[in-house]
């Protein structure tokens, strides 16, 4: 089976609009949360989010093109082109045959929800005559970001979208992993983007009792594993990875960040939005990833937890981790305490964090966790306060989504 390595990364996040600024923010323990600016949220139960700041799409995309793309697609364009550049891949300089072997699998949970809302508002504000923007459908549909990334770069390999709620971009990465291992492409652009900080999305998650209402302290609101947590903090942005056949990467002299060594996907088969107390789906996914990598649980340095700061979800995941690792004191950390929850883009952004932790031998800390929930299983090492600088060999990256979807990727230090 072909080995798959990571040769490029790109990011647009609430902590910064490059991989470097994302990583600097994570190491500094900075929260990206703040009062909502995208719409008037004065009458909403939750009036804050982790928004992307300072994003200037006109620096990357021609103005006449921008009107064709929803914000989630704009995030996809910029982050994926950052990743291609980071990998040293300039599509315009590649032969057609080379570009035939490069594909795109891009994820989102909500797609162009902002476009959808805007168009319906315009329709209902009129006289009922159906006057819709001709770009309405191609701006809104979830697969369009994958298509646009391929069109802009002339990439002719496998191209589609994965949708698995908050597990979407981890699923995209694992599908790209399999695509390369099966020989259907030598390089894949994989990741996800989300731009769902909109009235219907915030209002809907509020109605589902999922969002934190800690309006007086937005930066302290996402507090995974803490007994006082009251829900997740919505985020937005994108993460992009370049996955490459090891032989292909070596032949062109590419730098290699890490190796993707295994993955696991499963289902809770339990509830529309809830997770089982025993964390069964999570455990199945983690075990599958470890088995595929051919390592033992004791070889895993830490688990990059889904850890959304919801009461049931956090403890369910920790129960699954305890099932897999037993008495092994595996480290656990929750980056959403800083980035917020990027929904369908979370898996990709947290894959970047996982990979950089391997490169720099550091386990990022979970911030805002001051009083551990009494339900946290004994023996797990929740990293809080400050990052832990220590050798990092393997990292599991967990993602879970409404509908019971689970996806876990396993990254390892590259050794030639």
pLDDT band of residue 365 (cuts 50, 70, 90) is: very high
pLDDT at 197: 98
pLDDT digit string, tens, across residues 71-118: 999 999 999 999 999 999 999 999 999 999 999 999 999 999 999 999
Q: Residue 129 pLDDT > 90, yes or no?
A: no
225, 251, 277 - which closes a domain = 251
Are 382 and 323 in contact by the 8 Å Cβ rule? The answer is no
216, 251, 286 - which closes a domain = 251
Containing 304, the helix (H) or strand (E) segment is strand 302-304
Distance CA 358, CA 413 (A): 6
Show the domain range for 201.
4-251
pLDDT band of residue 126 (cuts 50, 70, 90) is: confident
Cβ-based neighbours of 97, under 8 Å, separated by 6 or more: none
pLDDT digit string, tens, across residues 220-250: 999 999 999 999 999 999 999 999 999 999 9
Q: Do 190 and 118 have their domain in common?
A: yes
Q: Do 170 and 311 have their domain in common?
A: no
Q: Do 157 and 305 have their domain in common?
A: no
The encoded tokens of residue 95 equal 């032969």
pLDDT band of residue 336 (cuts 50, 70, 90) is: very high
With vertex at residue 183, the alpha carbon angle to CA 242 and CA 346, rounded to the nearest 5 degrees, is: 35
Number of domains in the chain: 2
Q: Residue 416 pLDDT > 90, yes or no?
A: no
Identify whether 161 is a catalytic site residue: no
Q: Do 324 and 226 have their domain in common?
A: no
- Give whole-number Cα distances, 187 to 38, 90, 283, 343, 408, in Å: 36, 13, 30, 25, 21
Q: Do 241 and 328 have their domain in common?
A: no
Q: How many CA atoms lie within 13 A of 325 on its CB side?
A: 25
pLDDT at 88: 98
Containing 26, the helix (H) or strand (E) segment is helix 19-28
Average pLDDT over the chain reads 97
Q: Do 11 and 144 have their domain in common?
A: yes
Are 82 and 22 in contact by the 8 Å Cβ rule? The answer is no
Distance CA 183, CA 41 (A): 49
Q: Do 134 and 186 have their domain in common?
A: yes
Please report, for the domain that includes residue 150, its CATH number: 3.40.47.10
Taking residues 196-213, report their average pLDDT. 97
The encoded tokens of residue 404 equal 């019971």
Comparing 381 with 125, which gets the higher pLDDT? 381
pLDDT digit string, tens, across residues 133-185: 899 999 999 999 999 999 999 999 999 999 999 999 999 999 999 999 999 99
pLDDT at 139: 96
pLDDT at 127: 82
Among the options 9, 19, 41, 166, which is catalytic? 166
Q: Do 72 and 144 have their domain in common?
A: yes
Would you call 42 exposed, middle or buried from its count of C-beta atoms within 10 A (0-12, 13-18, 19+)? exposed
192, 226, 251 - which closes a domain = 251
Q: Do 328 and 239 have their domain in common?
A: no
pLDDT at 206: 97
The encoded tokens of residue 153 equal 């770069």
């Amino acid at each position: 089976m072909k080995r798959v390595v990571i040769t490029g990364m790109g990011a647009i996040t609430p902590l910064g609009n490059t991989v470097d600024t994302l990583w600097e923010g994570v190491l500094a323990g900075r929260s990206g949360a703040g009062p909502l600016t995208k719409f008037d949220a004065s009458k909403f139960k939750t009036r804050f989010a982790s928004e992307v700041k300072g994003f200037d799409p006109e620096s990357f995309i021609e103005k006449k093109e921008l009107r064709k793309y929803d914000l989630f697609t704009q995030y996809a364009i910029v982050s994926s082109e950052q990743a291609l550049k980071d990998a040293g891949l300039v599509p315009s300089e590649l032969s057609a045959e080379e570009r035939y072997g490069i594909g795109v699998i891009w994820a989102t949970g909500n797609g162009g929800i902002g476009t959808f809302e805007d168009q319906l508002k315009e329709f209902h504000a009129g006289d009922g005559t159906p006057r819709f923007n001709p770009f309405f459908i191609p701006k809104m549909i979830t697969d369009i970001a994958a298509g646009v990334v391929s069109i802009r770069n002339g990439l002719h390999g496998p191209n589609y979208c994965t949708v698995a709620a908050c597990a979407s971009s981890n699923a995209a990465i694992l599908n790209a992993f399999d695509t390369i291992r099966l020989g259907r492409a030598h390089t894949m652009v994989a990741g996800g983007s989300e731009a769902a900080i909109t009235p219907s999305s915030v209002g809907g998650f509020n109605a589902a009792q999922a969002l934190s209402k800690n309006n007086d302290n937005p930066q302290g609101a996402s507090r995974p594993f803490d007994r006082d947590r009251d829900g997740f903090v919505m985020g937005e942005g994108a993460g992009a990875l370049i996955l490459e056949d090891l032989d292909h990467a070596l032949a062109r002299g590419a730098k290699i960040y890490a190796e993707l060594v295994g993955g696991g996907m499963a289902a809770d088969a339990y509830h529309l939005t809830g997770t089982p107390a025993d964390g069964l789906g999570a455990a199945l996914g983690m075990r599958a990833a470890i088995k595929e990598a051919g390592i033992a649980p004791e070889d895993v340095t830490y688990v990059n937890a889904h850890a959304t700061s919801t009461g049931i979800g956090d403890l369910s995941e920790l129960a699954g981790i305890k099932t897999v690792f037993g008495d092994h004191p595996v480290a656990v950390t929750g980056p959403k305490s800083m980035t917020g929850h990027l929904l369908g883009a979370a898996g990709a952004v947290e894959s970047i964090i996982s990979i950089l932790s391997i490169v720099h031998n550091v386990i990022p800390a979970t911030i805002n966790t001051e009083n551990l929930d009494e339900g946290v299983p004994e023996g797990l090492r929740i990293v809080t306060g400050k990052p832990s600088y220590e050798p990092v060999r393997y990292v599991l990256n967990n993602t879970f989504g409404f509908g019971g979807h689970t996806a876990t990727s396993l990254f390892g230090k590259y050794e030639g």
